[in-house]
């Protein structure tokens, strides 16, 4: 069976920000190839016009009046956060420099 290369699997895993174990990499080499072969079939669809449909909704988007509504307390805003620090939500330091 055709398989993706290790690098190809690691590349898409990086795009999706998913860590993979060695076993998973091996497993997905085959499984992802099946899906990629599936999606590739779109290339064979003929008689296609240029118009696209990105949503079934075909009317002008409603616009909201500029009025301020209810907001959360800092307690509720951070309620579900796995790591917080006072009213802040905490993450490992964001490397900027």
Smaller CB separation from another protein, 6 or 12 = 12
Does residue 22 interact with another protein by CB under 8 A? no
Does residue 57 interact with another protein by CB under 8 A? yes
Does residue 58 interact with another protein by CB under 8 A? yes
Give the number of residues in contact with another protein, rule: CB under 8 A: 72
CB of 5 to another protein, least distance (A): 13
Distance CA(24)–CA(48), nearest Å, equals 38
Both structure tokens of 73 = 């307390």
CB of 3 to another protein, least distance (A): 13
Residue 83: φ, ψ to 5°: -140, 125
CA 69 to each of CA 22, 64, 65, 66: distance values in angstroms, whole numbers, following the listed order: 49, 11, 11, 10
Report the Cα 14 to chain-centroid distance in Å.
11
Does residue 2 interact with another protein by CB under 8 A? no
């Amino acid at each position: 069976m055709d398989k993706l290369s290790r690098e190809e699997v690691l590349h898409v895993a990086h795009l999706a920000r998913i860590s993979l174990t060695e076993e998973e990499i091996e497993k997905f080499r085959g499984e992802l190839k099946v899906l990629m072969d599936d999606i590739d079939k779109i290339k064979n669809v003929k008689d296609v016009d240029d118009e696209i449909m990105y949503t079934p909704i075909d009317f002008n988007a409603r616009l909201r009046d500029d009025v301020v509504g209810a907001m959360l307390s800092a307690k509720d805003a951070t309620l579900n956060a796995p790591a917080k620090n006072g009213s802040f939500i905490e993450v490992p330091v964001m490397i900027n420099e």
